[in-house]
Amino acid sequence: MIEDKNPQRTDLSQLGEFGLIDHLTKQFDIKQKSTLKSIGDDAAVIDFKKKKAVISTDLLIEGVHFDLSYMPLKHLGYKAVVVNLSDIYAMNAVPTQITVSIAVSNRFPLEALEELFDGIALATKIYNVDVVGGDTTSSQKGMIISITAIGEADEKELVYRNGAKENDLLVVTGDIGSAYMGLQVLEREKQVFQVNPNNQPDLDAYTYLIERQLKPEARKDIKELLAQLEVKPTSMIDISDGLSSEIMHICKQSNVGCNLFEEKLPLDPQLINVCEEFNIDSTTVAINGGEDYELLFTIKLEDFDKIKANPNFTVIGHMVNEKEGMHLITRANTKIALKAKGWNALKE
């Protein structure tokens, strides 16, 4: 599906390992005062001063987490950074540095890695983080990306998964389910393309969904917004594996139950249309989809007035006693036990 616009092909071994790392990382300038030592030594050195350090890591494998037949390399680089930063925002912290390790088989020319690193560089610019280390090596098969995100926060700002209390409201940012349906559209087009390579796809009706899948953004705005509204969440998590799965993480770690209301789920109109076209229940997609990189959090009931008028937030449920369990309350007012159907890489 993706045209090769760059017929140039430079073999990676021409540069050697150190030459390659130099070449790919020279575009990274230092933006953070806390970065005392960046790429080029045995390790990076960071000065968090009075702040706490927040660290998260993710491993992305070609064929498991991404498919290069419809994922442009620049988007992949961008997304790989964003999904890691999302974990830092989910702690109510601010990302400041990342390390980037890449392994590639010799099927990838230098130009492919340059595209990947262009996407990484763009993300670090937009999210204002420094690349302070990493590793570039060869793989036996496909591309492997491992990113560690580092952030900082005052201790009193940090929000964990385990602080939700009975009667707290459950709130989600943005809308959910679109990234998953974007993936379904891309998978369908891939199959059409495999049957007929001359078919030109018309993706106009799916632009929002596809963008949510290929170029997601992390919610860097939420920490400041909540601070302005003077709301501190009691618990928080980001939506990577799916809403249902993330709610269950908060409930289990906070020892509470939850009622989630189907009618409250924030769905984009394009998602609803495409779910109809695909004959898939949009609630199922919204609950189990994953990869939205929105933030899910709980707030005290008395904070409701502070957030109710804000278009970034939707109250989708409330926490109940642990004994009541975790349920979806449908539009027909039936109660269905939540299940973590989140994406499970090990069952692929």
Site for its own copies in 87-146 (CB under 8 A): 87-88, 90-91, 93, 97, 99, 101-103, 132-142, 144, 146
Q: Tell me how far, at minimum, the Cβ of 308 lies from its own copies, in Å.
A: 26
Residues ≥6 apart with Cβ < 8 Å to 248: 326, 338, 340
Which residue type does 307 have? Answer: I
Kindly identify the residues of this chain, within the stretch 240-299, that bind its own copies according to CB under 8 A: 253
In the block, tokens 């390390």 appear at: 99
Which residues are paired to 337 by β-bridges? 327
9 is in an annotated binding site: no
CA angle centred on 84, ends 270 and 230, rounded to 5°: 75
Q: Is 345 in the site for its own copies (CB under 8 A)?
A: yes
Number of residues counted as binding its own copies (CB under 8 A): 74
Strand-pair category, 143-153 with 235-238: unpaired
Site for its own copies in 173-202 (CB under 8 A): none
Using the contact rule CB under 8 A, the part of the chain among 159-167, 196-204, 300-308, 318-326 near its own copies is: 159-167
Decide: is 9 part of the binding site for its own copies (CB under 8 A): no
Region of 43-51, 190-198, 208-216, 217-225 interacting with its own copies (CB under 8 A): 43-51
**Which residues are CB-neighbours of 4 under 8 A, at least 6 positions away?**
none
Query: Which window, 17-25, 74-82, 173-181, 259-267, contacts its own copies (CB under 8 A)?
Result: 17-25
42 marked among binding-site residues:
yes
What gap in Å lies between CA 318 and CA 337, rounded to an integer?
Answer: 15
Q: Residue 243: CA atoms inside 13 Å, Cβ hemisphere, count? A: 34
Among 44, 171, 258, 287, binds its own copies (CB under 8 A): 44
Asked whether position 338 contacts its own copies by CB under 8 A, the answer is no
235 and 296 Cβ atoms separated by less than 8 Å:
no
User: How wide is the angle at C-alpha 83 spanned by C-alphas 81 and 87, nearest 5°?
Assistant: 110
Minimum Å distance from CB 202 to its own copies? 32
Q: Which strand (E) or helix (H) includes residue 7?
A: none
Residues 19-38 that bind its own copies (CB under 8 A): 20, 36-37
Which one, 56 or 184, has the nearer CB to its own copies? 56
CB of 14 to its own copies, least distance (A): 9
Would you give the binding string for its own copies spanning residues 50-79, x where CB under 8 A is met?
Answer: --xxxxxxxx-xxxxx--------------
| Annotated binding residue 136 | no
Q: Is residue 67 a known part of a binding site?
A: no
The pair of structure tokens assigned to 332 is 């027909």
Of 209, 163, 155, 151, the closest CA to residue 184 belongs to 209
Compute how many other C-beta atoms are within 10 angstroms of the C-beta atom of residue 107: 10
Q: Contact at 8 Å (CB) between 99 and 44?
A: yes
Rank residues 91 and 186 by Cβ distance to its own copies and give the closer one. 91
The window from 67-75, 120-128, 152-160, 320-328 that contacts its own copies (CB under 8 A) reads: 152-160
Q: Where is the binding site for Mg(2+), in residues? A: 42, 56-58, 87, 135, 238, 241
Q: Where is the binding site for ATP, in residues? A: 134-135, 161, 240
